[in-house]
Structure 1
Amino acid sequence: MLEAFQEFVMNLAQADTWLQYLGTLLISIVPFFESYVAIPIGIVFGFPSIQVIVIAAVGNWLSVMVFVWLLSGLRQKVVKNKRNQGSKRKNRAQNIFNKYGVAGISFAGPIICFHVCAAISIASGAKKTYVSIWQAIGIGAWSIALGVAFHYGVNLLEHLPNLNPFS
């Protein structure tokens, strides 16, 4: 699996511009890769930073929104069938939710995956529109912060050729 991903990324570097953007979008849609993997890959390969940030954030946001809305529908069905059956995992997620809320969990996206953050929020009973708003804010903020930091980090490496592993 990892070899296939590496081959995909290497082919992406040599592809047409539109295919590079599409590849960035596809990487950002995949859970656990998301925008925080797609952005550095795009910037390292020299794709325009602003476009990479926007495309990766939109792809990540779209996949999380589909997940939120599907999970919300599933949760409504599960809640009707089971009442108050808790597991260790559910109790742990509920404790995290109670401590940080939807906003706090949404900003933990790069640490525990935006999809997992959304799942914790929905499973804890938060409304899907509220989760959607905070996930969008979290994804946007992290994408911009990571993109800007990585953009300037890569540019710094261009000026220090001895430290640049890509030269």
Structure 2
Amino acid sequence: MIESIQGFADSIPDWLQWAGIVLVSAIPFVESYFGAIIGVAIGLHPVVAILMAIIGNVISMLAFVYGTGAIRDKATKNKVKDGEPSHKRQRLKRMFDKFGVPGVSLLGQTMLPSQITSSAMVGFGANRNAVAVWQIISIIGWGVLFGVLATLGINVALR
């Protein structure tokens, strides 16, 4: 099956394969980790697959961070917020209070996509630039980890 997927991908120009990995990695829940796996599975060089997955995820996450920040600025201008947050939001807020931006950025992707966790942190009032930097570090780490695991797994499966 892996060989047939790779054969199909080989019929597509390289630049289009790369663009496909960037686009698919921008999707929440796919992220850099599954994007890297997909890139490796279709036969891209692991470094290219991981890099394209990271780029797609980072672009998407940055759009969410700065978009949420702009919306929050407008929504909270001269207003007081009422209401009970959802269970997931409360859990993320407790995690945010306990571990801060670095902890939520590095561990939050085990619960929710980077786009959602980064938006929530900005919504909690975290500094957008700090969130962006820590999310980029997390995206790189998760993308490299899963890309390497996928490369090792594909190499074992093809032997």
Range of TM-score over shorter length? 0.7 to 0.9
The match for 2:24 is 27
1 or 2 for the larger relative contact order (CA 8 Å, sep ≥6)? 2
- String of CA shifts for 1:42-92, please: whole Å, max 9, x gaps: 111111110010011011001101110110011111112431424232544
Deviation at 1:111, TM superposition (A): 3.5
The match for 1:129 is 129
Contact 1:49 1:147 in 2 (8 A): yes
Contact 1:36 1:110 in 2 (8 A): no
Between 1:50-59 and 1:92-101, the stretch displaced more is 92-101
* Cα distance change on mapping 1:156 and 1:11 into 2, 3 Å: closer
- String of CA shifts for 1:121-162, please: whole Å, max 9, x gaps: 111110100101101100011111111111111111122xxx
Q: TM-score normalized by structure 2?
A: 0.86
Query: Partners of 1:68 and 1:146 in 2: how far apart?
Result: 24
Query: Partners of 1:124 and 1:43 in 2: how far apart?
Result: 36
The match for 1:154 is 154
Query: Partners of 1:75 and 1:154 in 2: how far apart?
Result: 44
- String of CA shifts for 1:11-33, please: whole Å, max 9, x gaps: 65631111111111110111222
Letter in 1 for 2:135: Q
Contact 1:93 1:124 in 2 (8 A): no
Contact 1:34 1:56 in 2 (8 A): yes
Q: Identity of aligned pairs, percent?
A: 31
Query: Partners of 1:117 and 1:129 in 2: how far apart?
Result: 14
The match for 1:4 is none
Contact 2:9 2:43 in 1 (8 A): no
State the Cα RMSD in Å.
2.0
Query: Partners of 1:93 and 1:146 in 2: how far apart?
Result: 24
Letter in 2 for 1:144: V
Letter in 1 for 2:101: V
* Cα distance change on mapping 1:75 and 1:62 into 2, 3 Å: same
Alignment: residue pair count: 151
Contact 1:97 1:120 in 2 (8 A): no
Q: TM-score normalized by structure 1?
A: 0.82
Aligned partner (choices 62, 66, 70) of residue 63 of structure 2? 66
1:12-161 matched pairs, under 5 angstroms:
12=9, 14-89=11-86, 90-107=89-106, 108-159=108-159
Deviation at 1:105, TM superposition (A): 1.2
Contact 1:71 1:122 in 2 (8 A): yes
Query: Partners of 1:143 and 1:18 in 2: how far apart?
Result: 20
Query: Partners of 1:70 and 1:131 in 2: how far apart?
Result: 13
Query: Partners of 2:8 and 2:155 in 1: how far apart?
Result: 23
- String of CA shifts for 1:92-133, please: whole Å, max 9, x gaps: 442231122111111122531001110121111101001011
